[in-house]
Every structure is written in structure tokens, then in C-alpha cells.
Structure 1
């Protein structure tokens, strides 16, 4: 029952991560906050927890308007990001900079999948927009990743995660 509270906190973070970029100023590159939340969870928990969090966040991205095409591509790529970061977790304690760098690689991979799907004729994405999205996501991750991992540690110490 107590673990449900940790899942609820993650769900609320994911919903906020999906909705907040809509309040971003028009014309600015929007960070992908869902990937930052998935990274924070995956860097502290088992790979399956990261994958499930990524799957939930990706479904939200796919279903909340304007959504994504093809349906489920965002969910699978976010789940792969969560799984990959969860598998890399044991080696990331060597340096405090490594989690941010690995998150950057994972975000680049997810954005690369978006570019490939757009190149295949599904949706329209400009490479420059993807680059700016990556830059903004990494800038936001530099500030949010320590806060979110701290929240995950606190939830774990309370037995909620």
C-alpha cells in the first residue's frame, strides 16, 4: 500500500512533465521533461522500474494532444531509455557528472528515433528543432536531475518507492 504513494508521485511528475512544456513561451525550443523524469527514476531503481516509468511517460506523450505518430513509438523509446539507464546504473557512481552525460546520450537516442520516424514520412520534425530540444532538455536536466533523484532517494528512504 505504501509503495502506491511512490507510484502516485511518479505519475503526478509525469503528468506535470507532459503539461508544463505547453506553458513554454512560443518560438522557444521546448525541453522534453518526461525524459528527465524517466532518467531520474531509472538512475536510482531497477531497470524494470525505469522501463515501466518510461512506458507510462511515453504513453502520456503519445496520447495527450497533439500526440505522436505512430501511436506507441514514444512509449517504446521512453521505455528503452528507462531500461538502458537502469542497466547503466551500477557504473554511474564513479562520477557525479556521469548520470547527466548518460542522460544526454539517452535523450539524443530518443530524439534520433523521432527524427527517423519523421524521415520515414510519419510527422514532420526539423533536425535543428531536435538539436534545440536536446540542448534545452540538457540545460533543464542539469537543474532538475539532482532534485528529482533527491526526491526518489527520499521516497526510497521512507519506503514509498
Structure 2
């Protein structure tokens, strides 16, 4: 029952992360909330959970309009970032700022993939827009990442209690 609850919570967080930026004012850069959810899960659960949540989040982004040009590219990018961030799981005990650094590094990796795809002719992403997206993600991560980490830790306590 706890596994089902964990999956439902993660799906809800991913759905919110995909849909909330559409309500963001168009004049501003839109933050990448999906990478923050993926980072929060990967940091607390490890590479397998990070990979699975990254794949799910990437697929959601690929199919929600406007979507990605090559279907599945977002899923692969977010899955790889989730797996890489999950590898840092046991190494983040030194500072409470390390999860933010790891999450923002993951956001940078996703944006590099998006920029590379745009350079190859899939979609359009100007370097200025990518930098603005990363900056917006940085600002929003101050609020979003602690919420995701707290949800994952609460699920972990409930599982072993």
C-alpha cells in the first residue's frame, strides 16, 4: 500500500510540475519544475527511482503540448539526469545546500540536451532563453525542492514505520 501511495504522490508532483508552468506569465522565463521533482526523488531514493521518475516526467513533457520534437528525447534526458543525480545519494550529507547544487546541475544538463537538440534542428532554443530558464529554475528551487524532499522523506518514514 505504501508503494502505491509513493507512486501516486510522485505522479501528482510530476503532473503539477508539467502543468503549473503553463500558468506562468509568458513574459517571464518558465522554470523547469520537472527536473526539481526528479532531483528530489533521486537524491532521497537513489538512481533507480531517479531514472524511473525522470522517464515518467520526460514522457509527460513530451506529450503535453507543445511537446518535444523527437518524441522520447525529453524522457531520455530526464531519465539520465535522474540516474546521475541518484548516484549522489549517499554523498549529500555534508551540507543542506548540496541538494540544491545537485538539482541545479541536473537542470543545466537538461538544458544542454535541449540546446544540443535545437542546434541539430529539433525545436528552437536560444542560449538566452536557456539561461533564463535555468535562472528561473534556480529561483523557484528555493521553494519547490524542500517540498519534494520533505514529501520523499515522509514517504520513507512511513514505509519503514
TM-score with structure 1 length normalisation? Answer: 0.96
Q: How many residues align?
A: 160
Measured in 2, the distance between the counterparts of 1:158 and 1:89 equals 19
**1:87 aligned partner:** 87
CA distance in 2, matches of 1:122, 1:128: 17
- Aligned equivalent of 1:5: 5
Aligned mates of 1:50, 1:83 — CA distance in 2: 5
CA distance in 2, matches of 1:122, 1:83: 24
- Counterpart in the other structure of 2:35: 35
Structure 2 length normalisation: TM-score?
0.96
SS at match of 1:95: coil
What's 2:67 paired with? 67
Q: Are the counterparts in 1 of residues 42 and 49 from structure 2 also a CA contact under 8 Å?
A: yes
Q: Find the counterpart in structure 2 of residue 152 from structure 1.
A: 152
Gaps of 5+ in 1: none
Q: CA RMSD in A?
A: 1.0
Structure 1 residue 151 displacement after superposition? 1.0
Q: Which residue of 2 aligns with 1:114?
A: 114
Shift of 1:102: 1.3
Shift of 1:27: 1.1
